[in-house]
Structure 1
Amino acid sequence: MTLLAEVGWGGLVQAPTTITWTDITQRVDQVRGVVITRGASDERSETQPGTATLSLDNQDGWLTPGNSASPWSPFVRENAPIRISQAVIPTRSGSSPYPLAMLGDDFDDNRVNTTLWSTPFGGASETGGRMRVPVTTVSTAGFQTVREWALVGSKLTAKLVTLPGANGSSAALASMWVNSTTSGTRLGWRYNAVTGVISAETQTGFFDGTAVGFAYSAINHVWVRVRESGGTVYWESSGDGFGWTVRRSLATPAWVTSQTLAVEFPTTRTGGTNDFVEWDLVGAEVRPRFYGMVNEWPVDWEGLVSKVTISCTDLFKRLNRLPLLRSMVTEQIIQRVPVAYYPLTEPADSISAGDLSGHGLPSMAITQAGAGGTLTMATTEGPAATGDSTPLFTPSTATAGKYLTVDLGSAAQDQLTANPPQIEAWFKTATTGRAILGLYSPDLQYVTVLSLSASGALQIEWTVTGATSLTVETVGSTSGLNDDNWHHLVYDQRIGVAWVDGVNVDPTLAPTPGSDQRFLHIGGYRGTRLWNGALAHVAVYAANVTIGSALATHYNAGANGYAGEAADTRIFRLAEYAGLLSVTVWGSTHDPVDSQGPGGSGVVARMREVEATESGKLFAERDWFGLAYQSRDVRYNPDPASETFTIDYADLEPGTKLSADDQKKINFVEASRPGGATQRVTAPESILAFGTYPPAGGTLSLLKTSDNSVLDAAAWLVSRYAAPAPELREVAIEAYTMPNFLDILDAEISSYFTVFNLPSQAPASSMRVTVEGYTETLKEKSHLIGFHTSASATDSVWVLDDAVYSVLDSTTRLAY
């Protein structure tokens, strides 16, 4: 195994596809090792933020923050992206022809392995832990194997570390070829330093007229490989050596299946200045172990020796420091990037209303029309699921009272000129004939007013000619909106369509192309038709596509907080609020969850509510800036054929423990849901034998949508933990010494494996366990993993007439 530690200087941890990574592996103190923690201690605990700790050589001062002489300055700073992997180098076994996947070299001893590379030529060498091949005008150069390899059903992989430069040459090439027995018949990858193109080629006579080329990317083409499978050859590239993208494919040439092959890494240059190309980690199987950010760069000295010991945290660090969420309505609106957004949720003593669009627009001023009337903030409860308090507009007459006005400014005006506005608002009134809002240009050439008619129907009023009398279109199907209840309105001016309470109420309104609109009035229009009631969450958008139907779904955010949507959908929604676009969902059991409409808690806390409600698992990915969410059925009835690995007890390290205690015992559960009943489930026999064991925290509050679902969740908990069996909770493995180390490294949270040949004192000769988390230490020639585990049988469910899962009083637990 070879450690890989890389830092993305100047990159954004939340944008992994834009990061150019720098390998700092040579700086890592592999005697002290890299320590990584991930997951939870047991299945009853929440997964914790993943961490990594490593010590780095800083003798040149390049890792000293603020050192302008560092080539990485000024990006040696907190929150720098970091990723850590293990590159597993294959070994050759058996007899020739060997599968090409067995050709492996990490070049770390600075001595050419002549067993693998029989003929380095042209000055090619192993230098600085890499294959270094000169790119010179003197002669061709390269590394080459003897003819003893097969590509069928196998692959050749390498990391392209250092590119040659054009350097004034007319041709400068560096390649990775699988060679046939015929000179010039070969396939592989070629980099052209003059054009900056890397190409996937299958050559005959040293030429491929259909080569597929790409502008080389230090992000996407760091790793390259050729792979044959099922009669097809694939050319693939990768940014991390783990996730691969197919760049070209074609039917396997006949020579690939019939000949014994050789591998070559050659170079050539015509004219210009000499330099070199460097390759590394040929044949490596990469397994990501950590992805996150550096918390600090503390510089320590021991005499004249300088070290930097860094601690790193995965994406939960970023998520945990996000501001508290506002209501779902607000978060949904912000996700749509409005030009202007005035939620009107200020405290009661406020004398203005602020913009939350993030564009720094002016606040709205309370404006007096005529004499009398009031406008008091935080007086009326907002839409049902928001938890907001909103202003109450109480005019004396239709022309005497207070309303809100603002000049949105020239930047907003430009956006609304380029794209006709889409307008969103919530309103509540018992009065007809009043204006909800007005949006207009300084010269009144372009005006849009949303109002209620004398029958309480929605009206769209507009002009594009500056006419004093606005054109009025009444949506007849909407009468009665003056029922003193909250209603949601969306008007898409681009296409002339309106939605009320999430329903398309009239698709036949005339589109009204606008221009120069920058003045916004809320609760009236230019001192007339003053609103008598409440208004909230007014937003103006300037999208270059029609978004009205998407905005209409915000009705559910305010009316019911999306109550009833599936748990995985809720996780996706909350992730979007956090600006996180990558969520992987495992499993298929996703019950409906209740509203989380009001604001006031963090996004992680909201996700944890869903996780606890569904008995799921939430954790950060170890290879990507993303979350994984597992439903509870991921753990149902582990299939022996799908075990990640098996291991003999004799191969375990000290620290493996069998536990039998009351740490997890639960035989008494009271649970409730928002607006529902409080219910109790008990295990009388367990209570009689051991006493009462409620869950930590007492009564469970679950985001269920029915009392029956709450009862099912409580019963599930009691059935699993009223009488927990003895279990292995810690399993320590030195993966480096195991022949199945790749399988061990593939073990993920909720993976399962079996320990067999347990000592005679154990309750069974073998025990299957589920991974809850782990602590691993990566050192030179060592990879010790201490798995935190639980008994897989805890999650078994009843299967009718199944020999294993229908044993009376043993495995007849009903699935939930």
Structure 2
Amino acid sequence: MELLVDGLWQDITQRVMTRDSGQISITRGQTSEGQQPSPGSCTFQLNNRDGLFSTANAMSPYWGKIGRNTQIRVSVAKGDDRSYRFWGEVSAWPEDWDGTNTDVWVDVEAAGILQRLSQGQTPLRSTMYRGLTSMATTPPVAYWPCEDGEASTSLASASGGTAMKLVGSPKLASDTGFLCSTALPVMAGGSFVGKVPTYTVTGESQIRFLMQLPTAPPNATQLVKVAATGTVAFWAASYGTGGGLALRGLDTDGLTVLYDTGFIVFQVDGQRLYVSMDLTQAGANVNWTMSVVNTETGVGSILSGTFNTVTVGRLTTVTVTPGQTIADGIFGHISVQNDVTNLFDLIGQVTAFVGEAAGARIARLCSEQGVNFVPVGTSSQDSMGPQLPNTFLALVQECVDVDQGILFERETAFGLAYRSRTSLYSITPTVTLSYPANHLSAVPKPVPDDQNTRNQWTLARPNGSSATFTQDTGPMRPLDPPNGVGLYSDSATVNVQSDDDLYQHAAWRVHLGTVNEPRYPATTVNLARPVMAPQRVAALNVLFGSRFVISSPPQRVGGDISQITIGIQETLTHFEHVLTYVGRPESPYRVAITDDPATARPDTGGSQLGADMGPADGTALVQVTGTTLWTTDAGDFPFDVTIAGERMTVTGITGAASPQTFSVTRSVNGVSKSHQVGEAVSLFTPMLIAL
């Protein structure tokens, strides 16, 4: 047990008390299948007879150095290394003592990082706001998001300057069409005027803003005009009939055109755009760039040129729609920089990160929030929809809901980790626990319930369509028993990129919800038992997403038990270290990869016994009910099939037409019985085909 004091880890193991009233108890991950992960916890008692852990004790060497959210970690020996079992922080140091004041202790309850992250419900702001207020490059010298509420009387500055004044009666918070922003104003014949704070003139000036013009304004309408202290009084972005934009230098009257790029055919009519006006002083001349990027597609258009014999100076005032003639136009996120940056530096924020991979989004969100994070295994490539304002954990959970992987607290650092769905495919066991060898310290109790049964899922996309997948074959289909199990229907909204993604995601959830085997929610081992000595390191290596197998259980439970770890509970005393793995069935994650001869074994689409079999028969007559015969290629053998619960290894098949004759090794899983004509024949653990 170690405590982080003044940046150094202090070993306090000798202070830990394990007695009848307490032991070290650790819980991490999910407590049962289907739950979201709870904050990890570690509870224990510390000997405090000398007041070392009394936060009010000025005589303690820890005084002023420990308190709320002091980090703590727990590890056990693992050969020449350490196995970290918990890493969290202590939020309080509650003292207790007996009546004689000789037994003094602290009941410590440490929590994982999810505990702190779950506090507070302030949503993260829009992606444009977050991008412009946390730029890795030069931040704006002036920035007005324009995301103010409909009753606002001005538009607040997000860069420390003064608010923008409203002229006329623009309709604030009226348009929600920009995914990268919360509701923006519709101009309604109004205007905005904002003063740019004094800043250091660098010779570079940049004005950017979001814009949509549902109705084309008259030719030469000024959209955004900026006052400057150089030889040109104003710089303006003006509209040209047909969807063009021009960058113009204007005289002191704000109307006479001194410099003009001409109308650039950007086809802006009706498009939701991020517009940029760049001016760079180059000696006596000014290099200009006019560019737009479509906020829905991320596609940009850029044109550059030079104005001769002119200076820019410092930008002083920004006016949006100075002529007050635009009725349904939308403007927002107006920024001024004294640095010309790449148009695509904030392309993710501009498009609200639509199409971002789920794993990449988790990593980016953690980086932005300063949360330590590592991906485990292959990264998730499922494409996400837009990142809309929500709490940090809710945004992370959106990614988990799409990818269906495992989010958990790290054990080797104070942070988060994520194991993607694809990293769970066809994994080898981390530990195999032998039932006959008494590796288990408690009998694993199967739970053959319907808690997680779902044979129909309907998934919807936010503000999009929906898709339904139903399991229409096999024993878990939604028919009345004995032809099925009845209808188990559920629905959810998932933030996928496209409506086209919904059907496959619904199919995967049905795949998980139609596992025809019992749950084993708790598998317990005691590492102090001598029989576990050879397995101790492997048992400690079981982490979230690891596979563990219970081999050779009683025949009546149906063969080896294979589980994916989704939670870990453990208790430690001076004499014992008891681990309980919370698992869910591993079989849905056994996948076939097309064109891979080792795993790509599709079933025939339907087969059944063409004749009765006795319990010792070494051949089976199999009638194909589908359209594809079973393989007779010697290189494809052996493989396993199941018939009425008995697993058999097929060593050869003969017959160029149905029925075919199988040569089999019987009772692979300990089941030995007679079979009747018509019983189904199928590959052992039919595999999902992963394209």
User: Contact conserved, 1:797 with 1:815, CA < 8 A, in 2?
Assistant: yes
Distance in 1, matches of 2:491 and 2:684, equals 28
Q: Deviations over 1:653-692 (max 9, x none)?
A: 1363233222222223333334224424134643322643
**CA separation of 1:73/1:492 partners in 2, compared to 1, >3 Å: closer, same or farther?**
farther
Given the two structures, how large is their TM-score scaled by the length of structure 2?
0.73
The match for 1:146 is none
Aligned partner of 1:578 among 344, 369, 386: 369
Distance in 2, matches of 1:475 and 1:62, equals 76
Question: Over aligned residues, Cα RMSD in angstroms?
Answer: 3.7
Distance in 1, matches of 2:233 and 2:118, equals 44
Given the two structures, how large is their TM-score scaled by the length of structure 1?
0.63
The match for 2:261 is 474
**Aligned partner of 1:814: which letter?**
L
- Give the drift of 1:810: 4.1
Q: Deviations over 1:567-624 (max 9, x none)?
A: 223323433453436341533552223x23432x322222222222222222222212
The match for 1:226 is none
Matched, 1:328 2:137: no
Q: Deviations over 1:191-246 (max 9, x none)?
A: xxxxxxxxxxxxxxxxxxxxxxxxxxxxxxxxxxxxxxxxxxxxxxxxxxxxxxxx
- Give the drift of 1:774: 0.9
- Give the drift of 1:788: 0.7
Matched, 1:355 2:157: yes
Distance in 2, matches of 1:575 and 1:60, equals 40
- Give the drift of 1:347: 1.6
- Give the drift of 1:294: 1.9
Distance in 2, matches of 1:761 and 1:428, equals 68
Distance in 2, matches of 1:300 and 1:513, equals 74
Distance in 1, matches of 2:116 and 2:225, equals 40
Q: Deviations over 1:392-420 (max 9, x none)?
A: 3344xxxxx64232353x5xx25xx4694
Distance in 2, matches of 1:514 and 1:592, equals 44
The match for 1:34 is 24
**Aligned partner of 2:245: which letter?**
L
Distance in 2, matches of 1:551 and 1:447, equals 30
Distance in 2, matches of 1:592 and 1:342, equals 31
**CA separation of 1:285/1:552 partners in 2, compared to 1, >3 Å: closer, same or farther?**
closer
- Give the drift of 1:437: 4.0
Distance in 2, matches of 1:475 and 1:744, equals 72
Secondary structure of residue in 2 paired with 1:742: helix
Aligned ranges 1:76-115 → 2 under 5 Å: 76-88=66-78, 90=79
Aligned partner of 2:82 among 286, 292, 296: 286
Matched, 1:619 2:434: no
Q: Percent identity?
A: 23
Secondary structure of residue in 2 paired with 1:574: helix
Matched, 1:666 2:457: no
Distance in 2, matches of 1:321 and 1:609, equals 18
**Which shows bigger deviation, 708-717 or 778-787?**
708-717
User: Contact conserved, 2:210 with 2:274, CA < 8 A, in 1?
Assistant: yes
**CA separation of 1:66/1:676 partners in 2, compared to 1, >3 Å: closer, same or farther?**
same
Matched, 1:718 2:510: yes
User: Contact conserved, 2:144 with 2:333, CA < 8 A, in 1?
Assistant: yes
**CA separation of 1:504/1:683 partners in 2, compared to 1, >3 Å: closer, same or farther?**
closer
Aligned partner of 1:311 among 95, 104, 109: 109
User: Contact conserved, 1:329 with 1:597, CA < 8 A, in 2?
Assistant: no
**CA separation of 1:621/1:540 partners in 2, compared to 1, >3 Å: closer, same or farther?**
farther
Aligned partner of 2:349 among 554, 563, 566: 554
Aligned partner of 1:652 among 419, 440, 444: 440
User: Contact conserved, 2:48 with 2:54, CA < 8 A, in 1?
Assistant: yes
Aligned partner of 1:785 among 579, 603, 626: 579
**CA separation of 1:806/1:552 partners in 2, compared to 1, >3 Å: closer, same or farther?**
farther
5+ residue gaps in structure 2? 281-286, 593-598, 602-635, 643-681
Q: How many residues align?
A: 574
**Aligned partner of 1:426: which letter?**
L
The match for 1:24 is 12
**Aligned partner of 1:33: which letter?**
Q
5+ residue gaps in structure 1? 10-18, 91-283, 396-400
Q: Deviations over 1:495-518 (max 9, x none)?
A: 85443114553363459997655x
Matched, 1:433 2:241: no
User: Contact conserved, 2:430 with 2:547, CA < 8 A, in 1?
Assistant: yes
User: Contact conserved, 2:55 with 2:66, CA < 8 A, in 1?
Assistant: yes
Distance in 2, matches of 1:528 and 1:672, equals 44
Distance in 2, matches of 1:391 and 1:606, equals 26
**CA separation of 1:310/1:445 partners in 2, compared to 1, >3 Å: closer, same or farther?**
farther
Distance in 1, matches of 2:314 and 2:163, equals 20
Q: Deviations over 1:57-83 (max 9, x none)?
A: 333334333444444443433222332
Aligned ranges 1:358-397 → 2 under 5 Å: 360-366=160-166, 368=167, 373-379=168-174, 381-386=175-180, 388-395=182-189
Aligned partner of 2:547 among 745, 752, 772: 752
User: Contact conserved, 1:423 with 1:540, CA < 8 A, in 2?
Assistant: yes
The match for 2:272 is 486
Secondary structure of residue in 2 paired with 1:582: strand
User: Contact conserved, 1:427 with 1:436, CA < 8 A, in 2?
Assistant: no
The match for 1:812 is 686
